[in-house]
Amino acid sequence: MDVAPLLITLGILFLLGLAADQIGAASRLPRVTMLLILGLAAGGAGLDLIPEDVTNWFDTLSIIALTMVAFLLGGSLTVRNLKSHGRAIMAISIAVVLTTIAIVAAGLILAGLPPGLALILSAIATATAPAAMTDVIQQSGVRNGFTDTLKGIVAIDDAWGLIAFSLIIVIVGQSDGWGHVAMGTARDLGGAILLGLALGLPGAFLTGRLKPGEPLQAEAIGIVFLAAGLAMWLEVSFLIAGMTAGAVIANLARHHDRAFHEIEHVQWPFMILFFLLAGASLELDALRAVGWIGALYMGLRVVARLIGGITGARMAGAPGHEARLYGPALLPQAGVAVGMALVAAEEFPELADTIMALTIASTVVFELIGPPATLAAIRRVARDDARSPPNGDLE
């Protein structure tokens, strides 16, 4: 491998990330969207400027970046935050997942798709994009009940989605039975939780000891890399493992609160490469291949998000000006959906082409339109709060 072109490419990508950050600040667009567009222009669907040696890093970078995001999201699941927003987090996350499955599956079946395929696609539609949403929340600079609740929802909703997806795969297959799905779900989710506990419990008590009260970057990065690597080795969810470790440390570490700040300090370079390479890997040909079924699938997901968000928010007693905006804020979709699609394609090879084409196409669209929708929702709530301060927090 020729090192010089590789280093030159990485240098250019980091500078592009800086440019995207500045353009986003000037145009009020999410920097995530700017990075994806730049990656798309430089990738195979555009000018094809990124060497294959760099694009081959995408899978590894994805795991590292998403584990960092999961670690930070886990830090939002503190007892204090759950006491304030736990009812909304649970109600909205569950309502969005169930509504997405019901509306997307019903709409696709009425459109003529086989029920099994419709159910699989509806389960894939439940996935969100934790990395994109976390970055948009951070970029917005807004910290209120709405953003705290969003962080909690994003931390947990993919877990509900994975459980629903596992159940649907068995229902559609009807070959290995419920015992198979129970064991598979217990291994993936339960094993990930145990791994997160195994890393988080000692991490909560040992970090911040070398320099009292202030964990070192090496400690925080070490936990994230261990969570990612061990999860891959054990074949469990690295997202759930990272989230669990972050939640344990946030709730049990009484002598410091800086482990998450250290991750925030080093996260952005990884996120720059992650989003640029994600943009470079987008396949615009998939949009042309899916036709009206693809448009229907994406439209149904939007409707389901809107209805599920407002339904869950009403059930939780969220303020009225927030309730209607949870759905738009939860539109981003990315790597988790593609992972689900790959599993489904392996289980049902006769449906693989349709599943992959629709999932990739929807990922392209929701990666581009989702972050601006999230940012607009956050800013709208902040403006409404400024004009009319709420009487209280979530009930």
What is the predicted pLDDT for the residue at 395? 38
Q: How far is CA 335 from CA 23, 85, 315, 366, in A?
A: 25, 27, 30, 11
Asked if CATH classification 1.20.1530.20 holds for the domain at 58-387, the reply, yes or no, is yes
Handedness of CA 311, 313, 317, 320 (dihedral sign): negative
Residue at token pair 């890093």: 57
Mean pLDDT of the chain: 77
CB 263 within 8 A of CB 220: yes
How many Cα atoms within 13 Å fall on the side-chain side of residue 108? 30
Q: How many CB atoms lie within 10 A of CB 1?
A: 7
What is the predicted pLDDT for the residue at 100? 93
Longest dimension (CA), the chain: 63
What is the predicted pLDDT for the residue at 299? 92
Contacts of 246 (CB under 8 A, 6+ apart): 70, 71, 72, 73, 74, 75, 77, 196, 200, 260
Task: Give dist(CA 325, CA 323) in Å, integer.
Answer: 6
> Token digits for 207?
């970090």
Task: Give dist(CA 107, CA 81) in Å, integer.
Answer: 36
Contacts of 242 (CB under 8 A, 6+ apart): 66, 67, 68, 69, 70, 71, 74, 196, 224, 227, 228, 231
Listed as ranges, residues in the chain with pLDDT below 70 are 1-3, 24-31, 44-46, 53, 55, 76-77, 81-85, 170, 173-186, 207-217, 254-267, 281-290, 335, 339, 342-343, 346, 388-395
CB 203 within 8 A of CB 247: no
Burial environment of residue 393 by CB neighbours within 10 A (0 to 12, 13 to 18, 19 or more)? middle
What is the predicted pLDDT for the residue at 300? 94
The full set of domain ranges for the chain reads: 58-387
Residue at token pair 């209607």: 324
How many Cα atoms within 13 Å fall on the side-chain side of residue 37? 15
